[in-house]
């Protein structure tokens, strides 16, 4: 079983997901065993599995590897590095239609539809992008995660890049680490958002709800999101804004968490809903209104800077007139390319 790692120590890994679960142990557990406390704090994992992670060195207490029977005194900081489960070692190829925007012998760029899970996990072992990739290119089984280097949430649509060789995968991950991959999103939010802004707030697991992320978490990782307003609209007297968001980092749920922290939750978001107006219940849109519409990177083989542009899918286009906007408010490819070129200088 693999030892804990960070993105810098293992170049073949996801960049935009948290690498560990952080726990702050209350003083009330003084004298209790580590494995018992972990089982209580992380009910999604069996006690035997947690114990095996401790024994494999994938759990640290105040930065040190210890034993499952270690007695806690309370007040410690624990990091748990989830290890792959046996079910994850042999994924089945599945004939899943993929919207391929670009492909060559080195990389492919996919326009992921909303509803498609990127990587198998508990509750979604089949029907994922990874299963579809293995069907299209069986040789991707030789690459970690079938060449996937970053992910989009299940109900976020848009552009993703996938590596087809180990050299390309290493190159793409390093570009992500160095923050040279350009990722731009369109986000429809509730509220009267300013013309532009930047959010600097760590993102980490919500200690009160393990299924959510939280901004400003003491145990989170640094995260930065830039945004600019493209259009303003209205739904039943509640203001709506269309934002272009640019990622400087790529944490789990980053845009959704950051914008909610400013008081601008995404339309349709089922999880991050603080300051969502009551009229949202009458808006027929049931996923977070988020689309990864532009992607730019250095091609791993040719070293050429390449950019891809993808307008939102039909459900988001149909949303526009409902919130007082039109397709004229969407970014134009020529303006995007000029903006990216300007950023590179």
- What is the structure's pLDDT at 178? 86
Query: Count of CB atoms within 10 A of residue 93's CB?
Result: 17
Domains and CATH numbers, the chain: 21-81 (3.10.290.10), 90-177 (3.30.2350.10), 184-344 (3.30.2350.10)
- The question of whether 343 is a catalytic residue gets the answer no
Instruction: Choose between 219 and 55: higher pLDDT.
Output: 55
pTM of the model: 0.77
What does the pLDDT look like over 95-110, one tens digit per residue?
999 999 999 999 999 9
Q: What is the sign, positive or negative, of the torsion defined by CA atoms of 218, 220, 223, 228?
A: negative
CA distances from residue 261 to 47, 60, 214, 224, 274 in whole angstroms, order as listed: 35, 30, 9, 13, 8
Lowest pLDDT segment from 81-95, 105-119, 132-146, 162-176: 81-95
| pLDDT exceeds cutoff 90 at 314 | yes
User: Which residue in the list 153, 192, 209, 328 is annotated as catalytic?
Assistant: 153
pLDDT at residue 77 is higher than 90: no
| pLDDT value at residue 4 | 28
**pLDDT for 31-64, tens place per residue?**
999 999 998 888 767 788 888 888 877 788 988 8
């Amino acid at each position: 079983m693999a030892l804990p790692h960070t993105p810098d120590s293992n170049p073949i890994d996801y960049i935009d997901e948290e690498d560990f679960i952080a726990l702050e142990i209350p003083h009330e557990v003084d004298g209790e065993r580590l494995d018992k406390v972990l089982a209580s704090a992380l009910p999604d994992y069996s006690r035997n599995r947690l114990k095996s992670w401790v024994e494999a060195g994938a759990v640290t207490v105040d930065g040190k590897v210890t034993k499952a029977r270690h007695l806690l005194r309370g007040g410690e900081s624990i990091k748990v590095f989830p290890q792959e489960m046996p079910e994850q070692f042999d994924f089945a190829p599945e004939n899943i239609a993929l919207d391929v925007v670009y492909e060559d012998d080195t990389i492919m760029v996919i326009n992921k539809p909303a509803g498609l899970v990127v990587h198998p996990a508990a509750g979604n072992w089949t029907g994922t992008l990874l299963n579809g990739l293995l069907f299209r290119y069986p040789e991707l089984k030789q690459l970690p995660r079938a060449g996937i280097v970053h992910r989009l949430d299940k109900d976020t649509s848009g552009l993703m890049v996938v590596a087809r060789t180990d050299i390309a995968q290493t190159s793409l991950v390093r570009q992500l680490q160095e923050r040279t991959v350009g990722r731009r999103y369109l986000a429809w939010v509730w509220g009267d958002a300013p013309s532009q802004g930047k959010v600097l707030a760590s993102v980490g697991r919500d200690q009160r709800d393990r299924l959510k992320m939280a901004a400003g978490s003491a145990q989170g990782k640094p995260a930065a999101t830039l945004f600019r307003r493209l259009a303003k609209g209205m739904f039943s007297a509640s203001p709506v804004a269309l934002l272009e968001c640019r990622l400087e980092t790529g944490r789990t749920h980053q845009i959704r968490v950051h914008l909610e922290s400013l008081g601008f939750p995404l339309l349709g978001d089922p999880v991050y809903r603080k300051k969502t107006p009551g009229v949202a219940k009458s808006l027929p849109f049931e996923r977070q209104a988020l689309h990864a519409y532009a992607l730019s990177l250095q091609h791993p083989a040719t070293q050429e800077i390449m950019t891809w542009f993808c307008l939102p899918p039909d459900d988001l286009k149909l949303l526009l007139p409902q919130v007082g906007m039109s397709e004229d408010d969407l970014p134009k490819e020529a303006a995007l390319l000029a903006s990216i070129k300007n950023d590179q200088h």
